[in-house]
Amino acid sequence: MDKQKKSRKGIIPEPSEPQSWCRCIQWPHSLNQKKKQEEREKALEEGKQQEEGKQQEGKQQEGKQQEGKQQEGQQQEGKQQEEEKIPKCNSMKEEYYNEHAKLVVKVVQGMTISTVSPPHEGDTNLEIGKGSVVLKKVVVRHDAVGTIIEQVNPDLVKIRIPKVVPKEPPVMAEFLPRVALEKKGEKTTPICFKGTGIPIALIDEKQEFVIDTSNDEVIDTVKDLALRQKLKEDLALRKEFKDAKEKPFERQYHMVLTPHFPESSKKQKVAAWLHNTVLQMVKPRPDHELKKEDDATKWEDVEVPLEAIMEASTEWVSIERERQRWMIDMKDAAAVAKDNETKDDKK
């Protein structure tokens, strides 16, 4: 009987825990809470989206402001560059006679360039006989500055050199030769060697531009031996040079025509004709390179080898100044070392 009960117990399931009937019912206040919760979550999401939208809008506005500032800065910079170009173009046009040039070069060694004109056709305006030729000799001094006109071949370039030294030349101005001027009536002429017409051009190593030519030690610093000898012999000429009030830079070149034309107006005509005639033999249409009579004696185009020129700029001047200071320091150090050796030898 007990076994039968046990088997029955095994068949009949145990009564489970009674479920609360209230869990199966959704009360109105529970629905309201859920709805409010959803509304709160929706409001939070909308607020988040609005905040992100404002941040994005702020970033866009900030980007636009930065872009506007950059554009404004670029416009101002462009305007400033344009304003800087104007005086530079004017300088190139008025001082270097080459308004399209951007680079200035200097001659690192003195040179002489000779040019012979083709036979003249007998133009009475120049008063040169038919079949006659004119020789032009241009002597370019060291450190003359100019601009490149064209490249003639891989090793040769044509440069335009103004006769008068431009304002603020990009070279070491204290090492440019100066010429003493004297007044003769209404004209101001350079003090020249007697009988030669060659002006005396000296460099004041002290950078005072007084040049005490009465001191033989100063004369001994002149590198040109012929010039040094003439200055040593002619004491009166040295005194004239020293007493002169004006000492401007020496011209960058000297141009001589043969035959000689004493009248300046005629010299200008002949110089312009020679330049243009020689140029037209090489270039049938030389364009801007033709020379006007008014500019005939203001500049010269010369062909020079590449190794005879280098870039001239304020940056190079700074480098050359540092090099000059270093050379002076080395010279002083060598002199001190020599003095010390002499003292040691005496001991």
Whether pLDDT at 205 is above 70:
no
Residue 34 has pLDDT above 60, yes or no: yes
**Which residues is 116 bridged to in the sheet?**
135
Burial degree of 37 (CB within 10 A; 0-12, 13-18, 19+): exposed
Who wins on pLDDT, 9 or 105?
105
pTM score of the predicted model: 0.64
pLDDT digits (tens, 9 = 90+) for 268-302: 999 999 998 888 888 777 665 788 888 888 999 99
- Summarize pLDDT for 225-242 with one digit per residue, the tens: 777 777 777 777 777 877
Poorest-confidence range of 20-29, 31-40, 215-224, 285-294? 20-29
Position 191 pLDDT exceeds 90:
no
Per-residue tokens: 268: 């200008």
Q: What is the pLDDT of residue 299?
A: 94
How much is the average pLDDT of 166-179? 86
Q: What pLDDT is attached to residue 77?
A: 64
Kindly state the tokens that stand for 21.
């009937």
207 or 155: whose pLDDT is higher? Answer: 155
Q: How far is CA 210 from CA 42, 202, 214, 233, in A?
A: 93, 10, 11, 20
- Give the mean pLDDT of the chain: 78
Domain boundaries, the chain: 96-170+253-312, 177-248
The reported pLDDT for the residue numbered 305 is: 93
CA 67 to chain centre: 32
Local confidence band at 125 (pLDDT 50, 70, 90 cut-offs):
confident
pLDDT of residue 5: 47
Mean of pLDDT values over 123-146: 87
Sign of CA dihedral 95, 99, 104, 105: negative
Q: Check pLDDT > 70 for residue 195.
A: no
pLDDT at 323: 86
More confident site: 216 or 319 = 319
- Is pLDDT of 346 > 70? no
